[in-house]
Amino acid sequence: MAPITFTRLLPARAAADAPDHAQADTPDNAAADAGTQIDSLALDAQVPRERPYTVVNFVSTADGQVTFEGRSGPIGDDGDRALFHALRERVDAVLAGTGTLRAEHYGRILGRPERRQRRLSAGRSAEPLACVITRTGSLPLEIPLFAEPEAEIVVFSPAPIELAGVAATIRAERYDDTGERPLAQVMRRLRERYGVRTLLCEGGPSLFASLLAEELVDELFLTLAPKLTGGSEGPTLATGPSLPELKPLRLRWLLERDGSLYLRYAIG
pLDDT of residue 52: 98
Largest CA distance in the chain: 54
Residue 200 structural domain: 5-267
Structural contact between residues 155 and 166, judged by C-beta atoms closer than 8 angstroms: no
Provide the pLDDT confidence category of residue 188 given band limits of 50, 70 and 90.
very high
CATH number at residue 131: 3.40.430.10
pLDDT of residue 46: 87
Total domains present in the chain: 1
Provide mean pLDDT across the span 175-190: 94
pLDDT of residue 156: 98
Provide the pLDDT confidence category of residue 25 given band limits of 50, 70 and 90.
very low
Nearest Cα residue to 263 out of 202, 220, 208, 234: 220
Provide mean pLDDT across the span 118-129: 95
Structural contact between residues 255 and 7, judged by C-beta atoms closer than 8 angstroms: yes
Name 102's Cβ contacts closer than 8 Å, sequence gap at least 6: 140, 143
pLDDT of residue 11: 67
pLDDT of residue 26: 47
pLDDT of residue 106: 97
Indicate if the pLDDT at residue 134 is higher than 80: yes
Q: What is the pLDDT of residues 237-266, one digit of tens each?
A: 999 889 999 999 999 999 999 999 999 999
pLDDT of residue 35: 79
Percent of the chain residues past pLDDT 70, beyond the cut:
92
Average pLDDT, the chain: 90
pLDDT of residue 161: 94
Indicate if the pLDDT at residue 75 is higher than 60: yes
Provide the pLDDT confidence category of residue 16 given band limits of 50, 70 and 90.
very low
Dihedral (C-alpha) 216, 32, 119, 24: value to the nearest 10 degrees? -60
Indicate if the pLDDT at residue 19 is higher than 60: no
Rounded to an integer, what distance in angstroms lies between the CA atom of residue 60 and that of residue 64?
6
Structural contact between residues 153 and 171, judged by C-beta atoms closer than 8 angstroms: yes
Provide mean pLDDT across the span 134-162: 96
